[in-house]
Amino acid sequence: MTSKSPLVFALVLMSSTASLSIQAETYQWKDGSGQTVVSDVPPPSTAKGRRSIGGMKPAVVSEALPDKDKAGETPAPKAAEGPKTTAEKDFDFKKRQQEAKEKADKQAAEADKRDNCERARRSVAALESNHPLSTLDDNGERKLMDSAQREQEMERARRVVADACK
């Protein structure tokens, strides 16, 4: 039992230290002599090139209502600056996925339309040739097409070409 106590103590100490370092924000600035300073304490207001380089961001407090300009209109909201949040990145990713899916669906529909057009043109060409053609009757037996059936099928195939090949 005594051999486990130091191990437990070490794990608790490491996890508490890790959780504190995760919540700390790190700052970087140049001091008066031009040296770069990195610290977890915010820089003085006189520091040059102040910036936050990591850690937790402070919560945003709701801003006051914008003033109206001389024309009586409210100015347009400014675009958010800085890195995007995870939610914004996720939204952008889903938007790109949706656009890619719509593009793929549109390309597939166009390919189907081209295929249907080509099949209809081949049917018309086959019907216009004077080679004997046959159809299947109700019993599944082949029956040669007579000229009336050929004309009827040719008219139907030409309508399909007109619709599919626009």
Summarised one tens digit per residue, pLDDT across range 117-139 is 899 899 889 888 888 888 888 88
pLDDT at 30 over 90: no
Q: What is the pLDDT of residue 62?
A: 43
CA distance linking residue 136 with residue 144, whole number of Å: 9
Over 70: is that where the pLDDT of 58 sits?
A: no
Residue 68's pLDDT band, with cuts at 50, 70 and 90, is: low
pTM of the model: 0.41
DSSP letter, residue 29: E
Query: What does the pLDDT average to over 37-44?
Result: 81
